[in-house]
């Protein structure tokens, strides 16, 4: 089995895949910058025990991380648990997709994984909107090349900043309101946050489609708040919460096949 880890700034998602590529289970935990390799190992064993899984069947791991200090901690964790290095997705790791951007080394590991999984699952051209700590849009063109995208503040980041700086506003449930025209402070906040995030995504995707000359590009939503935002728009052809984890697995498969080919030479 393969264990995939997506380390985001706010949450870390872990996926366990069977040899045939089917997803056995997923776990989510808060990303704590103070975590050590020992604490990560303890959490992993806890998740496996909770769901009755046996870590002894895990043959390899792949990690995509945007938090450098935790990249090192996960590396040490798996070195002890697997007795070899996991695959680290990111700069320097071939992903099987051309990165047609000015600085490929600067592209986040999660964005690469999203692009690879979206192209593999939905074909090209494809546009991914990831609602995480940041709201990222990533684009794969008609030729299967990664072309970049946009990065903006995430919905919850915007909400936290608003609640912290506006003395008369308090936290509200982040859910889609019935109408864009809010008839109460709570409804107005929900409209501004959720429908506002949807409208921003609609506008950016429309511009990207024009620049890419790809009016029929598939649009995929992912990330922790994708389902919430999708209720406020008809933008998405698919909502795929596990996209990043599958992208990490796809890159691992590419690397495994590439290494096999190299060994045959």
Beta carbons within 10 angstroms of residue 91's beta carbon: 14
Query: 6, 110, 130, 240: which is the annotated catalytic residue?
Result: 110
The residue assigned the tokens 């990043």 is 244
Alpha carbon distance 152, 65 (integer Å): 18
Dihedral sign of CA atoms 60, 76, 247, 105 in order:
negative
Query: And the tokens for 225?
Result: 């708040």
Query: And the tokens for 33?
Result: 């910058």
Of 148, 157, 118, nearest to 9 by C-alpha is 157
Residue 36 and residue 94 in contact, taking contact as beta carbons nearer than 8 Å: no
Q: Which residues make Cβ contacts (< 8 Å) with residue 190, sequence separation at least 6? A: 172, 173, 174, 175, 176, 177, 182
Pairing of the two strands 87-89 and 60-65: parallel
Q: Check if 110 is active-site.
A: yes
Give the three-class secondary structure for 31: coil
The residue assigned the tokens 């946009």 is 150
Q: Fill in the DSSP letter of residue 85.
A: P
Would you please indicate which residues are annotated as catalytic (active-site) residues? 110
């Amino acid at each position: 089995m393969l264990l995939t880890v997506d380390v985001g700034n706010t949450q870390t998602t872990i996926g366990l895949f069977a040899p045939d590529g089917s997803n056995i289970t997923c776990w989510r935990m808060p990303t704590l910058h103070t975590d050590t390799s020992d604490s990560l190992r303890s959490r992993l064993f806890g998740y496996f025990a909770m769901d009755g899984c046996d870590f002894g069947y895990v043959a390899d791991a792949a990690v995509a991380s945007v938090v450098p200090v935790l990249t090192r901690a996960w590396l040490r964790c798996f070195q002890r648990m697997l007795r070899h290095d996991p695959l680290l997705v990111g700069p320097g790791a071939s992903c099987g997709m051309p990165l047609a951007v000015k600085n490929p080394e600067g592209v986040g590991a999660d964005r690469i994984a999203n692009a690879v999984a979206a192209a593999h699952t939905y074909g090209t051209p494809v546009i991914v909107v990831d609602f995480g700590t940041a709201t990222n849009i990533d684009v794969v063109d008609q030729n299967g090349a990664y072309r970049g995208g946009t990065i903006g503040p995430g919905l919850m980041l915007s909400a936290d900043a608003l609640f912290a700086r506006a003395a008369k506003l308090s936290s509200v449930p982040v859910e889609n309101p019935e109408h864009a025209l809010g008839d109460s402070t709570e409804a107005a906040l929900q409209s501004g946050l959720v429908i506002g995030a949807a409208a921003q995504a609609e506008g950016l995707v429309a511009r990207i489609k024009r620049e890419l000359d790809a009016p029929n590009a598939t649009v995929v939503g992912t990330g922790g708040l994708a389902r919430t935002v999708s209720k406020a728009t008809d933008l998405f052809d698919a909502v795929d919460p596990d996209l990043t984890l599958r992208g990490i697995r796809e890159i691992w498969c590419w690397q495994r096949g590439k290494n096999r080919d190299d060994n045959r030479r």
